[in-house]
Structure 1
Amino acid sequence: MNAALARLGGHVWRLGALILVSVAALQLYFLARVALMAVVDPQSTAFQRSEAWRLLVEKNRIEWSQQWADYERISPNLKRAVIASEDAGFADHSGVQWDAIERAWERNQQAEARAARINAERERRAAARQGRRPPSAQATPKPPARVQAKVVGGSTITQQLAKNLFLGSERSLARKAQEIVVTFMLESLLSKQRILEIYLNSVEWGEGVFGAEAAARHYFHVGADRLGARAAAQLAVMLPAPKRFEKRPHSAYVIGRAGTVMARMGAVEPP
């Protein structure tokens, strides 16, 4: 019995050691990739590659628009607009704003609880309607449409870049923890200017539209260096949900929110 327990303990120890070595190797891989980004522009991100695969599978073709623009060739208006809209404390924080994450978590918990109450009430009403029908008229009930909780994020620009560069879109504590680790790597090895440059060149602005240069040409038919304040603010407003706004980039909502962003841009000094 003792020998069997000893063998089991040895297997567990070796498995734990293997997991630790694998995790450490993964962190070293991420660290090396981030260090290389100090001098080499990343050619693609994990998110871009997953999007390319999705387009190929769903549409049997990849319609893609992306062209790297150096930091000096991106309008200061866009830099100010994106910081004002996405991460007002970008220049000052160390990559993670814990209070913003806490507020987002609380709001998401409330949204999920609200969605659960609405779904439960819809199911109760559907069951009541089915129960009032004569037995001869009853059929397999169609399940009521379910409300999905609207999830908000508390991520900084650096966190968004960490996720886009290396990680998937699933929501889990392990993925969030890895995102924070990569965020600190980015903040430790790259300047704020370089982080913003990579972010603006890799972020999604519509299906198959990535980076400031492609977005400026797609929506306003100018280069990224010629974006005015209003156009830049509209692009910044689109960032949280580009696929939702790309069909109506000049909608009343986008224009209205752009006005709010423009009002904040004067207080922003890009790195």
Structure 2
Amino acid sequence: MATTPKKPRKGKEPAPLLAPVRSLRRQILRWTARAVLAIAGVFAALVLLFSFLNPPVNIYQLQESARLGAVQREWVAWEDIAPVMGRSAVAAEDANFCLHWGFDMNAIRAAVAQGGNRGASTISQQVVKNVFLWHGRSWLRKAMEGVLTPAVELIWSKQRILEVYLNVAEFDEGVFGVQAAARHYFNVNARDLSPLQAARLAAILPDPKARSASNPSDFVRNRTRSIISGAETIGADGRDSCFR
């Protein structure tokens, strides 16, 4: 007597159809994990290499070079930068540079309290963004910055972080680094910058395309005076001890 084949239970796929789906899912997860590990390895190698090798170029500089046709940049060693330039940059951008591990939690809390209308990025975070990542607001970039910043702080010295920062920062449209900026604005070398000139350069760092160090607005003049005072205070109270 013939029997009727059993039908699969309602709501369940036959086992033969589930196996390829599960296999594909495992392969996707495996390749995704490998890709993440490979990317992490590349960044880890770059963080280590750039602790003693100078970064040749970054994404933003390439973008600006393509847009403008060329950019001005010239790397100078820490010993060839006027000490007052380092103090001025710290006074302008990150007064607690020597005291934090990459994130200034007091500045972050103040930014949150003010509704996020003020910046809280440290010099270390800006170095990570400029050297390893790209400009623009996105959760992916902020997440990568959050991972890379402590790594840079762990492997690089504070002096190295500040040296790289001053060499990759934009000081005018297409003008990158303190040496190119010193020549561009004052026709001097970075090692010969005066306290006033260093403070002027630091004063334009947050918005270099809208501010000028050689033709300063009233705002830049006022900010320059504040930076000169701040740089003197940082030198007097020892907050420059990590990069002297």
TM-score, scaled to structure 2: 0.84
Over residues 205-249 of structure 1, what are the superposed CA-to-partner deviations in whole Å (9 max), with x where a residue is unaligned? 111101011111111111111111111111111011101113874
Higher CA-based Rg:
2
Residue 47 of structure 1 contacts residue 166 of structure 1 at CA under 8 Å; is this kept in 2?
Answer: no
Tell me which of the two structures has the higher relative contact order, counting C-alpha pairs closer than 8 angstroms and 6 or more residues apart.
1
Distance 1:108 1:12 in 2: 42
Change (3 A) 1:97 1:10: farther
Equivalent residue number for residue 134 of structure 2: 168
Bigger Cα displacement from structure 2, 99-108 vs 172-181: 99-108
Residue 93 (structure 1) aligns with: 100
Q: 2: CA distance between counterparts of 1:24 and 1:169?
A: 24
Q: Which residue of 1 aligns with 2:91?
A: 84
Counterpart CA distance in 1 for 2:154 and 2:121 is: 18
Is residue 2:72 matched to residue 1:54?
Answer: no
Alignment partner of 1:23 out of 33, 36, 41: 36
Q: State, as a whole percentage, how many aligned pairs show the same letter.
A: 38
CA RMSD of aligned residues (A): 2.0
- SS of the aligned residue for 1:91 comes to coil
Structure 2, unmatched stretches of 5+, are 1-12, 235-239
Deviation at 1:189, TM superposition (A): 1.2
Q: Which residue of 2 aligns with 1:125?
A: none
The answer to which structure has the higher helix fraction is 1
Instruction: Provide structure 1 residue ranges, at least 5 long, that are not aligned to the other structure.
Output: 56-60, 112-151
- Match for residue 135 of structure 1? none
Match of residue 203 from structure 1:
169
After TM superposition, the score normalised by the length of structure 1 is: 0.76
| Distance in 2 (alpha carbons) for counterparts of 1:239 and 1:49 | 19
Cα separation, 2, equivalents of 1:23 and 1:11: 18
Deviation at 1:169, TM superposition (A): 1.6
Compute the displacement of 1:20 (Å).
2.2
> What are the residue-to-residue correspondences of 1:1-271 with 2, within 5 Å?
1-3=13-15, 4-55=17-68, 61-62=69-70, 64-105=71-112, 107=114, 152-246=118-212, 249-268=215-234, 269=240, 271=243
Q: Secondary structure at the match of 1:69?
A: coil
Amino acid aligned to 2:130: N
